[in-house]
C-alpha cells in the first residue's frame, strides 16, 4: 500500500447500516448483527408460491407461534457463516485425531464381538435419526421466519448430516471400509421390531406441517431423550461391556449436543416468555411428542440397555429442561 495513513483525519460518516442503527442505536455493530438482522425480505413479494398459494414466499403464518419480532430469536453463540464453520472446523480436527488414533491403535480389534454387534444394532442405526433431524431442521430453515432463527436451523441441519456421517464412519471402522456394517445396521433400522417405533416416529415427523412444531418435536423432545439414552446411558453400558474406547468416536456428538443445547434453550426461552399463548402451545406440542417418543423408544431401549429406569432417567432430564426453559411450570 502506497498511501500514507492519517487515520485521524478520516471520520466515518456512520457506524453501521441503518437497519442496525434503528435497532441498537448509532454505535459500532458486531459482525453477527450486520450479517443477521433484517436480511430476509419482508414485504412486496411479487408472486405467490405455486406450491403453497395460501402463503407469501416469506410468511409468518407458517407456524401458529407468534412473535412480535422474529429477530428476538438471536443465537447466543453469535454464529454467522464464518464463525460457524471455524468453530466446527476446530471441533472436527479434534475428532479426526480421535478417529485416526482409534484406527492406528487397531482399537477395533480390541473391541469384544458383543460390543461390535451392540454398536451395529443400536448405535449405527441412529444415523437414520440424524438424517431425519437434517430434514426437519432444513424444513424450519426453509419455512421459518427471520434470519436469526433460519440461519441457526441451517447450521443445525448441516451438523446433523455431519453427525450422521460420523456415525457412519464408526460403521466403516468396524467393517474395514466395506460398508457391510452400515448395510446390516440399515436392516436393523428397517426390519428389527425394536426399531420400528422410532422409524415410524421419524417418518411421521417429516409430514408435520407447522415448522415450529417440527422443531420442537425434533430438537427439543427427540434430541433430549435420544442424546441422553444413546450417548450417555449407552456409553456407560459400553464401558461396562469393554467398549470404553467407543467414547472417542462419539465425543463429537456429545460436545455438539452441549453447544446446540445452549442455543436451543435460549431461543425457546424467548419464545415461551413472549406470551402465554406461545408457552401453552409449546407445552401442548411437547406433551404430544413426548408421549409418542417415549412409546417409540421403549422397545429399542429395553433391548439396548438392561436398565428398567433408563427411559425415566431421560424423561426426568427432559422435564428439568422444560422447567428451565419455562415451558412447564
Partner 1 sequence: MVAKKLNLKDKYRALTRDLDWDYDYADRKKAFPYEEFEGIKITDWSKWEDPFRLTMDAYWKYQAEKEKKLYAIFDAFSQNNGHLNVSDARYVNAIKVFLTGVSPLEYQAFQGYAHVGRQFGGAGARVACQMQSIDELRHVQTQIHAMSHYNKFFDGFQDWTHMHDRVWYLSVPKSFFDDARSAGPFEFLIAISFSFEYVLTNLLFVPFMSGAAHNGDMATCTFGFSAQSDEARHMTLGLEIIKFLLEQHEDNVPIVQKWIDKWFWRGTRLLAIVAMMMDYMLPNKVMSWKEAWEVYFEDAGGALFKDLARYGIRMPKFVETTAKEKEHISHQAWWIFYTHGHAAGFHTSIPSAEEMDWLSEKYPDTFDKYYRPRWELAKEMEDRGERFYTNGLPQLCTTCQIPMGFTEMDDPTQIAYRSSDFEGEKYHFCSDGCKHIFDEEPEKYVQSWLPVHQIYQGNCGGADVETVLREYYKMNLGEDNMDFKGSPDEKRWNEWKSKGVA
Is there binding between residue 146 and partner 1 (CB under 8 A)? Answer: no
To partner 1, the closest distance from the beta carbon of 37 in angstroms equals 9
Is there binding between residue 93 and partner 1 (CB under 8 A)? Answer: yes
Cα 223 from chain centroid (whole Å)? 7
Alpha helices in the chain (DSSP H): 18-24, 31-34, 81-104, 107-110, 113-118, 126-143, 147-174, 180-191, 193-205, 211-215, 223-227, 234-241, 247-274, 276-304, 310-325
Which H, E and C letters describe 145-160, residue by residue? CCHHHHHHHHHHHHHH
Q: CB nearer to partner 1: give 258 or 329.
A: 258
Spatial CA neighbour of 307 closest among 208, 237, 222, 209: 237
How many other β-carbons are positioned within 10 Å of the β-carbon of residue 86?
A: 11
* Range 212-271, binding partner 1 (CB under 8 A): none
User: Contact with partner 1 (CB under 8 A): which of 72, 180, 283, 319?
Assistant: 180
- Segment contacting partner 1 by CB under 8 A, of 66-74, 101-109, 195-203, 315-323: 195-203
User: Contact with partner 1 (CB under 8 A): which of 19, 78, 108, 117?
Assistant: 19
167 Cβ partners below 8 Å, 6+ apart?
123, 124, 126, 127, 130, 253
User: Contact with partner 1 (CB under 8 A): which of 27, 193, 207, 306?
Assistant: 207
User: Contact with partner 1 (CB under 8 A): which of 14, 27, 104, 329?
Assistant: 14
Q: CB nearer to partner 1: give 182 or 305.
A: 182
Half-sphere exposure for 245 (CA within 13 Å, toward CB): 21
- Segment contacting partner 1 by CB under 8 A, of 171-179, 237-245, 277-285, 303-311: 171-179
- Segment contacting partner 1 by CB under 8 A, of 116-124, 203-211, 273-281, 308-316: 203-211
Is there binding between residue 119 and partner 1 (CB under 8 A)? Answer: no
Amino acid at each position: 500500500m502506497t498511501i500514507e495513513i492519517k487515520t485521524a483525519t478520516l471520520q466515518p460518516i456512520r457506524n453501521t447500516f441503518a437497519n442496525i442503527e434503528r435497532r441498537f442505536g448509532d454505535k459500532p455493530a458486531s459482525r453477527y448483527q450486520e450479517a443477521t438482522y433484517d436480511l430476509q425480505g419482508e414485504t412486496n413479494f411479487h408472486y405467490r408460491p405455486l406450491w403453497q398459494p395460501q402463503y407469501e414466499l416469506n410468511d409468518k403464518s407458517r407456524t401458529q407461534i407468534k412473535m412480535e419480532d422474529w429477530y428476538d430469536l438471536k443465537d447466543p453463540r453469535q454464529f454467522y457463516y464464518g464463525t460457524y464453520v471455524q468453530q466446527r472446523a476446530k471441533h472436527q480436527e479434534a475428532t479426526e485425531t480421535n478417529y485416526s488414533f482409534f484406527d492406528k491403535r487397531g482399537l477395533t480389534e480390541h473391541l469384544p464381538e458383543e460390543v461390535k454387534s451392540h454398536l451395529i444394532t443400536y448405535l449405527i442405526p441412529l444415523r437414520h435419526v440424524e438424517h431425519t433431524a437434517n430434514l426437519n431442521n432444513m424444513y424450519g430453515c426453509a419455512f421459518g421466519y427471520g434470519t436469526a432463527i433460519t440461519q441457526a436451523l441451517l447450521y443445525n441441519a448441516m451438523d446433523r448430516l455431519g453427525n450422521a456421517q460420523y456415525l457412519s464412519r464408526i460403521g466403516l471402522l468396524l467393517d474395514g471400509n466395506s460398508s457391510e456394517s452400515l448395510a446390516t445396521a440399515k436392516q436393523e433400522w428397517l426390519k428389527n421390531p425394536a426399531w420400528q417405533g422410532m422409524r415410524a416416529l421419524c417418518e411421521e415427523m417429516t409430514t408435520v406441517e407447522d415448522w415450529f412444531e417440527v422443531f420442537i418435536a425434533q430438537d427439543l423432545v427427540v434430541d433430549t431423550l435420544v442424546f441422553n439414552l444413546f450417548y450417555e446411558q449407552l456409553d456407560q453400558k459400553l464401558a461396562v461391556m469393554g467398549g470404553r474406547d467407543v467414547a472417542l468416536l462419539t465425543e463429537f456428538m456429545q460436545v455438539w449436543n452441549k453447544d446446540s443445547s445452549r442455543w436451543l434453550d435460549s431461543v425457546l426461552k424467548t419464545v415461551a416468555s413472549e406470551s402465554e399463548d406461545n408457552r401453552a402451545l409449546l407445552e401442548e406440542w411437547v406433551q404430544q411428542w413426548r408421549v409418542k417418543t417415549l412409546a417409540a423408544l421403549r422397545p429399542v431401549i429395553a433391548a439396548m440397555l438392561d436398565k428398567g429406569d433408563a427411559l425415566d432417567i431421560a424423561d426426568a432430564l427432559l422435564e428439568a429442561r422444560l422447567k428451565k426453559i419455562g415451558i412447564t411450570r
